[in-house]
Structure 1
Amino acid sequence: MAAPLLEQLSESLGSPEPAIRLILSILIGSQLYHSVVCVLVQFLMLRLMGRTVTAILCSFTFQMLYLLAGYYYTATEEYDIKWTMPHCVLTLKLIGLAFDYYDGGKEPSKLSAEQKESALRSVPSLLEVCGFSYFYGGFLVGPQFTLRSYQRLVARELTDCPGKVPNSVVPAMKRFALGFLCLVIYAIFSPHYPDSYYLTDEYEAQPFWYRCVFILLWGKIILYKYVSCWVIAEGVCILTGLGYNGVVDGKHQWNACANMKVWLFETTPLFGGTISSFNINTNAWAARHVFKRLKFLGNKTLSHVATLFFLSIWHGLHSGYILCFSMEFFIITVERQAQALVRDSPVLTKLANSALYPLIYVVQQFIHWLFMGYPLVAFSIFSYDKWLKVYSSVYFCGHLFFLVAYLIMPYLRKALVPKNEGREKKQE
């Protein structure tokens, strides 16, 4: 009986049935208990274990195991919207809460600037933890924010008019309009670029160049799904005041909850630029609570690998997630080497600053968009047999391209970088 009702409601609202099911399950469904259990357990850990490393380890272990168990027991062969989607956002919130409470017991001189901003000097109440966890502006898709920011919001400190309601309607509507535009683009073009097309005989029968261009266009369109959600959610946070970020150069800033730099996302020809413009708050959370906390390893590369591994299993247990983040690490490594080569080589530096740069930019952007979509294939059709079939059909061109680039980079450096330049770099 419930299924036909959900179908009718979905059709009348013009929304996918899984999305309707998600909203209803959060509001009235029995699956609400998953988040309630995790919130209560986290609160008890703060109260009973105090500001200890044990509390952090227990919080991290419990919250991640609960999420991974949810992934395991609800896993299907298709991407679906279920209770684990908002729960993965909640997991980061609650783990971050344990870290922030722990930092609150340290001397301020031992904390970084961002740790000082988020550190909790007193144990939060159950009401504060629940309000922070279920805040409607960030519960479903993010953004990530700290309990300290939420406390400042409740205390009416986040406003451009002290003691008054913030003038946030205009900046909020700007973000909403931008998010809605991205949503329209996705709604118009996504039916022409479905994930399922990759697994059809028709796709495999297409010429190699067509398959590659399809990956490029598909990757560009599929990301608007995330962009639209995050930018609209940011608008909600701005409207409440949570997005207020002080004054810079005499102008009030509303980007405290920004999860996307849309202009940078659209124009950057660099993979690093896309990553720094995309899912900003989650990346900042991972940098603050995983990458920087692994400083004791004494190796940035190892910390980077561990952080990406954490993010991959946080997304889910499918092999496609690990492959996607592995490719990201490899691509960024090669790109940084290429940037260093261009910077150190007088010939390449001159070429990059010449009148030919617009042409170079077009070629670079084509490579960038193609190989941004390439790892996303594994992310979106995450089962081993599926992504292997797609990558085989394009002859693993992304893997080969960056492997070859990585292998020839030392020889290019020998040929294009003067020896004295190399010696100067080593001395620096």
Structure 2
Amino acid sequence: MAAPLMEKLSESLGSPEPAVRLILSVLIGYPCALVYRQFLFHQPATTVHLFHTFSGLALAAFNFGSQICHSAICILVQFLMLRLMGRTITTILSSFSFQMLYLLAGYYYTATEEYDIKWTMPHCVLTLKLIGLSFDYYDGGKKPSELNADQQKAALPSVPSLLEVYGFSYFYGGFLVGPQFTLRSYQRLVAGELTDCPGKPPNSVIPAMKRFALGLLCLVIYTIFSPHYPDSYYLTDEYEAQPFWYRCVFILIWAKIILYKYVSCWVIEGVCILSGLGYNGVGEDGEHKWDACANMKVWLFETTPLFTGTISSFNINTNSWAARSVHVFKRLKFLGNKIVSQVATLLFLTIWHGLHSGYIMCFSMEFIIVYVERQAQALVRDSPLLTRLANSWLYPLIYIVQQFIHWLFMGYPLVPFCLFTYDKWLKVYSSVYFCGHIFFFTVYLILPYLRKLLVPKRERSEKKQD
């Protein structure tokens, strides 16, 4: 009965059935959160773990059927590693190796040339959770003085129970599309600590509904405009026959719209706010904050003219996990080189996303773009002339030009990310004459000469000494 109903619904909406199931599952998280608030907030931890486990399993089965066995197996293996290996480096290495190899094997055996919603999609989110769990358990055996602030918050003082790990992994507010959060945060949720009024469910209904409305708006924008800018258009003779400027502008608009697919799912994380997991204490203004699980900063995403600004506003929790948080980037300090650490982190994210060549091209291009942008920002900051221009009445014009360049070349690395295979993205890059590569490599080569020309000699000398 359910299958024909889903087929009819997907046909009426003009969307693939897996996508409709996914969106419905994300929305079902809201009534699940209401049930938790109304009936389970004061219940024992075991009851709450069971509710989170079985509600998450039901959503997983609704989307992926018997393939939920993959997540169940990996969670069990992770628990056994913690129990049997203890707080050791061996646990971390074993966890990292097993979880990543299992994920990559899943990518290999299910790979197609299209973007498919299948069991590997939530599994990549789960992989980070479980690897992070081994780090947090290891940190729990250290002295607080040996840990930074982030590690202290996430460190686990004791080994969690199997039911606790399953509840954490299948929590309906993060299992399918994220966001990432630590087991320590989940434990505080279950204990009723994540609330603005101690002993009672949090006053988070209005913040959650605001976030839901924003996510719904993003979803509507994507639904209306995405059919007019499909990925497949890149591979048509019609696209290749268009003028060069049209092909570039199409990339710009397409990138803006395609990202709303991710924005809409991540912004509807009001489920976490509603349950209390999004509670983030009291801000400097004295107001309660609900952004602990925020995966998108929508205002920054829409207004920043910088590539680094967009990256900072997008998929925040995964970026935090990998680049700025406690698990990958900060643990690579021993390499002694920030650039090498960043390359290693991007390489990890590349492999984590999948095995297609498009991911390699996307993240390598992202690294180049960010590096060049930071060098350009340093030039503007160090040059009195450029600083005056940036702060002058010309700023609105500069902002418009910046935004055009920003979104044109933000879409440029997204092309291989979405087209996956070498033959497809190479065809598109050839049609725009590799303009992104040429632009950024040219800027990279001329920046040192511009620095000599525009930065006073004294300033350059001070920078070298620093």
Query: What is the TM-score of this pair, normalised by structure 2?
Result: 0.89
> Which of 182, 186, 201 in structure 2 is aligned with 1:150?
186
> Which residue type is aligned with residue 394 of structure 1?
V
What is the rounded CA distance, in whole Å, between the counterparts of 2:124 and 2:387 in structure 1? 44
Partner of 1:125: 161
What is the rounded CA distance, in whole Å, between the counterparts of 1:299 and 1:401 in structure 2? 27
Q: Show CA shifts across 1:92-113 (max 9, x none).
A: 0000000000000001100000
Q: In the TM superposition, what are the counterparts of 1:261-410 in structure 2 within 5 Å?
A: 261-287=297-323, 288-410=326-448
Shift of 1:296: 1.1
Partner of 1:7: 7
What is the rounded CA distance, in whole Å, between the counterparts of 2:146 and 2:15 in structure 1? 50
Shift of 1:5: 6.7
> Which residue type is aligned with residue 396 of structure 2?
P
> Which residue type is aligned with residue 269 of structure 1?
P
Q: Show CA shifts across 1:274-309 (max 9, x none).
A: 011100000010022111111111111111001001
Q: In the TM superposition, what are the counterparts of 1:4-403 in structure 2 within 5 Å?
A: 7-8=7-8, 10-11=10-11, 15-19=15-19, 26-27=60-61, 29-232=65-268, 234-248=269-283, 249-287=285-323, 288-403=326-441
Task: Kindly indicate whether the alpha-carbon contact (under 8 Å) linking 1:25 and 1:31 is maintained by their aligned counterparts in 2.
Answer: no
Q: How many residues align?
A: 427
- Once the two structures are overlaid, the 10-residue window that deviates more, 242-251 or 202-211, is 242-251
Among all aligned residue pairs of Structure 1 and Structure 2, give the percentage whose two residues are the same amino acid: 84
Q: Show CA shifts across 1:133-168 (max 9, x none).
A: 000000010000000000000000000000001001
Shift of 1:372: 0.3
> Which residue type is aligned with residue 66 of structure 2?
S
Unmatched tracts of structure 2, length 5 or more = 26-57
What is the rounded CA distance, in whole Å, between the counterparts of 2:280 and 2:2 in structure 1? 45
Q: Which runs of 4+ in 1 moved over 4 A?
A: 1-6, 12-15, 20-25
Shift of 1:7: 2.6
What is the rounded CA distance, in whole Å, between the counterparts of 2:334 and 2:402 in structure 1? 37
Shift of 1:9: 5.0
Shift of 1:27: 1.9
> Which residue type is aligned with residue 152 of structure 1?
R
What is the rounded CA distance, in whole Å, between the counterparts of 1:305 and 1:55 in structure 2? 25
Q: Show CA shifts across 1:224-281 (max 9, x none).
A: 010010000x200000000000001210000000101100010000001001110000
Shift of 1:68: 0.3
What is the rounded CA distance, in whole Å, between the counterparts of 2:385 and 2:113 in structure 1? 50
> Which residue type is aligned with residue 19 of structure 1?
A
What is the rounded CA distance, in whole Å, between the counterparts of 1:299 and 1:147 in structure 2? 31
Task: Kindly indicate whether the alpha-carbon contact (under 8 Å) linking 1:25 and 1:32 is maintained by their aligned counterparts in 2.
Answer: no
What is the rounded CA distance, in whole Å, between the counterparts of 1:426 and 1:172 in structure 2? 49
Q: CA RMSD in A?
A: 1.6
Partner of 2:52: none
What is the rounded CA distance, in whole Å, between the counterparts of 1:4 and 1:355 in structure 2? 61
Q: Show CA shifts across 1:72-116 (max 9, x none).
A: 000001111100000000000000000000000001100000000
> Which of 419, 424, 427 in structure 1 is aligned with 2:462?
424
> Which residue type is aligned with residue 272 of structure 2?
C
Shift of 1:423: 1.1
Query: What is the TM-score of this pair, normalised by structure 1?
Result: 0.97
What is the rounded CA distance, in whole Å, between the counterparts of 1:279 and 1:290 in structure 2? 16
- Secondary structure of 1:8's partner? helix
- Secondary structure of 1:289's partner? coil
